[in-house]
Structure 1
Amino acid sequence: MTATKGATRDLIDLPTEAGVLRYYDIGDGPPLLLLHGSGPGVTGWRNYRGVVDSLASRFRCLILEFPGFGVSDPGPGHPMAMAASSVTQFLDGLALDKVDVIGNSLGGAIALQSAIAAPERIDRIVTIGGIGRSLLTPAPSEGIRLLMQFTDNPSRESLVRWLDAMVHDPGLITDELIEERWQLATDPTTLDIARRMYSSEAMAQMMNAAKSSQMTPYWAQLGRITSPVLATWGREDRVSPLDMSLIALSDIPNCELHVLPGCGHWAMIEARNSWLRVVTEFLTRDRP
């Protein structure tokens, strides 16, 4: 395992066969890969900028920007498929044998898929909502439906409705945040990519494809994961409701669940201090 000191907050380019992956390298210590969620205007930096300083005091934090989300090269395929393949390319490019991983929503699902496909590369995993599948609540969830509405017909009003669904405390959705997300989410390239994932037409195609596919979904293979997993979840998550965690909690042999009250989908933002305490304890447990 290679761990060198990250000394820059500038984006770093990593050329791969599928295009240039961009990432941040901050801190010193065991390598910790941070994977962001999905949605128009999302980036790895926006997901983790509020917690990376604390994590970087113990870890070499590598914030990967998935291809197809507006920072790394778009790549030739569907953004979700490219996100999964980019993890191995990234680890190979940095000559990292094994890493701990934190994944938010889509990033958590990608972390689990990576642990299924290449268990020798993934050590401990922290997820933030978004893994498994809904057992008790209708799908798509309220938050995903609002995301679809924004993607179909972008407006500031539909953006605010979607962002409000991401948190329990609406006070976190400031004018500054709205403007920041609006600028990136309505960039033509970013919006086109989002429509490939979250337009009403794309979602219908994805659900129909899932029904007819002969491939075993990742959530049905969670019992194969040998990595220790900490699933963190906002109790009031309206994007990935809490019952989604039940399959992971049941099937992953070494899985624990920490539920944060008064918290929505952005647990690392809305419950920052509590989230950091439990995550740091998990990642450093029984280690020198």
Structure 2
Amino acid sequence: MTAAPTRRSAPPAGPAPESRFVQADGVTYHFHDLGQGPDTIFLHGGGPGCTGWSDFGPVAPYFAADRHCVIVDILQYGKSDKCRITGPMWDFHAAKTVALMDELGIEQADFICNSWGGTIALCLAARYPERVRSLVITGSMPVFYGPLAPLPERGHRGRAARDIYYGGEGPTRDKMRALITRLEWYDADRLPEETVDLRYQQSLDPGEQELAAMSDSPRGDWQDLTDELPLIAAPALFVWGREDAFLTPDYPLMLSRMVPRGNLHVMDHVSHHLQEERPAAYHAVVDGFLRSVGEP
């Protein structure tokens, strides 16, 4: 009998490129800069220990082959400022991201985003349409309702997971692995240990732990973007994991109809971080979309 093939781990992020920092409208952003070509900004998700490199490191080499990739730590994460946010949260992040673009001399960019970062980019595209060439959005929740049924845990699943992770005895490596495999990855056997380590070590950052202890209060006022989505002029691709633990594919189908130039691709055997689980497949889909931008 022939033995069943052993499933290999997904590729880890690998060593991060050199860090860069820039002041933009009173805050400090940390980011990585690699590749040449069309300006492409990557905005990561909001899970404990997430950074630009943790979320996009595995897929970055594919895009950097022919694109200028700016892989950002969004505010309150990674090595960017742990500033307190007041007022509407997505408006705040969008304005600061535009200020970052100004400082970097980027007039217009493609945005490739996961979860929290995708909602920032959708708000930015509505408020500053001239700065966005296209949008690729994965696992984001810009509106607080679904087309078929209430959202899991009323849309608070991520917030509850964060509180559990930082609560009790505090962050542990086992809790990080459990969080990722329960909510972010479809196949736990393919999760690289390097990814768990990267996220766990970042989650110990004192600034992130201080913010977590205050739950939602330092993150700004939650915004529903129902009124903003129809204003987005840029072409948008929603790339979704069929097994996403937060939002099933009926949700991005609704979003793709709310955005005038919205498209949807659903990928099998992935959950919330498909750009990490299946980076080659993710790049193939996204690259095809980006190459079509501007076509009649």
Same fold (TM over 0.5): yes
Unaligned runs of 5+ in 1: 1-7, 211-215
2:219 and 2:52 map into 1 onto residues whose CA distance is 24
Say which SS state the counterpart of residue 239 (structure 1) adopts: coil
Structure 1 vs Structure 2: percent identity of aligned residues?
Answer: 26
Q: Which residue does the alignment assign to 2:20?
A: 12
Matched, 1:274 2:281: yes
Q: Which residue does the alignment assign to 1:86?
A: 96
Matched to 1:110, the amino acid is I
Say which SS state the counterpart of residue 241 (structure 1) adopts: coil
* Mean Cα deviation higher: 107-116 or 146-155: 146-155
Q: 1:172 to 1:83 in 2, by over 3 A?
A: farther
- The structural deviation recorded for 1:12 is 1.3
Q: Which residue does the alignment assign to 2:109?
A: 99
- The structural deviation recorded for 1:83 is 3.0
Alignment partner for residue 201 of structure 2, among 169, 179, 183? 183
Q: Which residue does the alignment assign to 1:253?
A: 260
- The structural deviation recorded for 1:147 is 3.0
Say which SS state the counterpart of residue 69 (structure 1) adopts: coil
Q: Deviations over 1:164-211 (max 9, x none)?
A: 121110113344333332222123222122344xx4xx38x999x65x
- The structural deviation recorded for 1:110 is 0.7
2:193 and 2:109 map into 1 onto residues whose CA distance is 37
Q: 1:64 to 1:173 in 2, by over 3 A?
A: same
- RMSD of Structure 2 on Structure 1 (CA): 2.6
Q: 1:206 to 1:194 in 2, by over 3 A?
A: closer
Structure of greater relative contact order (alpha carbons < 8 Å, 6+ residues apart): 2
Q: 1:168 to 1:38 in 2, by over 3 A?
A: same
Matched to 1:234, the amino acid is G
Alignment partner for residue 39 of structure 2, among 31, 41, 46? 31
Q: How many residues align?
A: 270
- The structural deviation recorded for 1:11 is 1.2
Q: Which residue does the alignment assign to 2:13?
A: none
Say which SS state the counterpart of residue 275 (structure 1) adopts: helix
- The structural deviation recorded for 1:52 is 1.1
- The structural deviation recorded for 1:20 is 1.8
Matched to 1:26, the amino acid is L
Say which SS state the counterpart of residue 136 (structure 2) adopts: strand
* Kept in 2: contact 1:143–1:238 (CA 8 A): no
Q: Deviations over 1:199-253 (max 9, x none)?
A: 4xx38x999x65xxxxx72133211111000000001011333333133112111
* Kept in 1: contact 2:235–2:293 (CA 8 A): no
Q: 1:147 to 1:240 in 2, by over 3 A?
A: farther
Say which SS state the counterpart of residue 260 (structure 2) adopts: coil
Q: Which residue does the alignment assign to 1:121?
A: 131
2:32 and 2:219 map into 1 onto residues whose CA distance is 31
1:222 and 1:101 map into 2 onto residues whose CA distance is 16
- The structural deviation recorded for 1:16 is 2.2
Q: 1:143 to 1:15 in 2, by over 3 A?
A: closer
* Kept in 2: contact 1:39–1:194 (CA 8 A): no
- The structural deviation recorded for 1:49 is 0.9
1:110 and 1:270 map into 2 onto residues whose CA distance is 23
1:286 and 1:117 map into 2 onto residues whose CA distance is 20
Matched to 1:268, the amino acid is Q
Alignment partner for residue 218 of structure 1, among 225, 249, 270? 225
Q: Which residue does the alignment assign to 2:7?
A: none
* Kept in 1: contact 2:54–2:198 (CA 8 A): no
Q: Which residue does the alignment assign to 2:56?
A: 48
1:240 and 1:147 map into 2 onto residues whose CA distance is 17
